[in-house]
Amino acid sequence: MDSNIKKGILFSFILGMISYLINSYLRSNNFFSPGAGTIAFLLGVISGPFFIGLKSGGKYTIERVLPVSIILIGFGLNLEVLFNPNVGLLGILLIFASTTISFVLSIFIGRLFKMDSKSSLALGAGCAICGNSAVMAVSPSLKLKEDQVAVIIATINILGFLSFILIPILSDVIGMTQQEAGIWIGTVVHAVPQTIAAGESIGSEALIIATLLKLSRVTLLVLVVPLCAIIGNAGIEKKSSGRPNYNIPIFIYGFVISSVACTFLFPSEISELLFSFGKILLIPVMVSVGFFTNWSSFKNSAPSAIYVGTITTLTVIVTTFIIISVF
């Protein structure tokens, strides 16, 4: 194995371990943490320009570790959460409304800002489902380049942090009940840790409802990831007949199987253990994505991603608020 590949892999896992420890320290001492994945991405962005040869090892880590991580993350998707009575019909309506709006708007507005459709789709997945994890789950199937993923991850983290701060404040100013605030937070805030923290800032009832709705959104990955695999192959690989070759990556099947196994077969303890391991494996992958942040291309492509993500997020915030107010 090439020395640069070894160095890149080593850096990815060392910085990943540091990110994990920083995140654990912050949370154990009741400080705000953006999450181990976000910290890892930032460390990758910072270290990338100062060390030569990290990208080859980062690419190896993304190609080999990410599929395993995605399969294991599937063990955290218990589909029964969709039928939890605390979610209710309003919750399910909001979940599907916010998800649909995120995807449709991100693609439509992306075209207006000359953003390629697959990057727009990955951005929509991050806004609609679960931030970094969703982007990383769909990006291999969409055939996105590492620098494209880096731009989307940066955008998602900026918007996720702003929504995490904004929604609890707005819900308090507007005078929402804990139930209403929990529903709003659960259907709008991007990442799971941010959703939990935002719900907790309102109260125990808001925390429970926000967490349930957020987890319900996460289960939609079971549908979104295979769909992105089909879209990613359409028009790229063609047989001699000229028809698209829908060659879905094997890890997508593993992801769906693991979510089904979590729901119907495995004890919760085993599923939680495998899911936790999958999240840990995602941390060095996030470092590796950070290595590919190209500042010159970032300046050109980031504004479009931020515009698309901002318009999409604001539209979802307003739409879900109207639905909550009406019902």
- Which tens digit of pLDDT belongs to each residue from 125-141? 888 887 778 888 888 88
Give the alpha-carbon dihedral of 183, 259, 36, 20, to 10 degrees: 140
Asked if residues 230 and 121 have their Cβ atoms less than 8 Å apart, the reply is no
What confidence tens digit (pLDDT) does each residue in 213-226 have? 887 888 888 888 88
Summarised one tens digit per residue, pLDDT across range 254-298 is 888 998 898 888 888 899 899 889 889 989 998 998 888 776 666
3 state SS of 69: helix
Distance from C-alpha of 326 to C-alpha of 32, rounded to nearest angstrom? 34
How remote is the C-alpha of 222 from its chain's centroid? 13
Which two structure tokens, joined as six digits, stand for 98? 């916010």
> For the chain, how big is the Rg over CA atoms in Å?
19
**Helical spans, DSSP H, in the chain:** 3-28, 36-47, 54-73, 88-112, 117-125, 132-138, 146-174, 178-188, 192-202, 204-219, 221-233, 250-264, 268-291, 295-326
CA distance 240 to 317: 46
Judge contact between 40 and 19, C-beta under 8 A.
yes
pLDDT digits (tens, 9 = 90+) for 53-63: 788 888 889 88
Whole-prediction pTM: 0.76
13-41 pLDDT, tens digit each: 999 999 999 999 998 988 877 778 888 98
Whether the Cβ atoms of residue 161 and residue 254 lie closer than 8 Å to each other: no
